[in-house]
């Protein structure tokens, strides 16, 4: 679809997504290749914190894609809560991950999303995130 940086408020070295594959009212999907020297790579593996931030940025990219279509700038969001985090595997440098966010609901400036990270078709991480959007 397109390069992700234009849809998120984060800048290097805090970017955890490369490409937006899909973005609509219910689903956001991104791709990211883990690179040596990245801020969240330790001992050749992408860390747990990196996976969580990758899911949050995938949610941001979905929202940013929609706001850019209406001529606005991406909204800054903050992770307010993390629920049911499961990490089955940490991806290694050179691996490409695909992240999918399903928008469950939004109340005022709080979004509830369900995230899932896959590598080679296998689910390696998932969680529910509560994201607060800056007004």
Q: How crowded is the C-beta side of 45, counted as CA atoms within 13 Å? A: 9
How confident is the model over 102-126, as pLDDT tens digits?
999 988 889 999 999 999 999 999 9
Predicted local distance difference test score (pLDDT) of residue 1: 52
How confident is the model over 6-41, as pLDDT tens digits?
888 777 778 899 999 998 889 999 999 999 999 999
Q: Are 86 and 127 in contact (CB under 8 A)?
A: yes
Domain boundaries, the chain: 2-133
Q: Are 58 and 6 in contact (CB under 8 A)?
A: no
Look up the pTM and report it: 0.92
Q: How far is CA 8 from CA 31, 68, 94, in A?
A: 14, 10, 23
Question: What average pLDDT does this structure show over 122-132?
Answer: 96
Q: How crowded is the C-beta side of 23, counted as CA atoms within 13 Å? A: 24
Question: Token digits for 11?
Answer: 């800048």
More confident residue, 46 or 24: 46
CATH no. for 2-133: 3.10.129.10
Bridge partner residues of 117 (DSSP): 99, 125
């Amino acid at each position: 679809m397109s390069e992700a940086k234009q849809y998120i408020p984060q800048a290097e070295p805090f970017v955890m997504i490369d490409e937006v594959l899909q973005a609509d009212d219910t689903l956001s999907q991104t791709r990211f290749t883990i690179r040596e020297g990245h801020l969240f790579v330790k001992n050749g593996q992408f860390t747990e914190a990196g996976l969580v931030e990758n899911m949050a940025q995938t949610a941001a990219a979905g929202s940013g894609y929609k706001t850019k279509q209406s001529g606005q700038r991406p909204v800054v969001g903050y992770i307010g809560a993390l629920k049911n985090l499961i990490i089955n595997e940490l991806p290694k440098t050179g691996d490409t991950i695909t992240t999918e966010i399903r928008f469950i609901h939004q109340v005022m400036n709080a979004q509830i999303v369900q995230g899932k990270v896959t590598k080679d078709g296998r689910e390696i991480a998932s969680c529910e995130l509560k994201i607060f959007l800056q007004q």
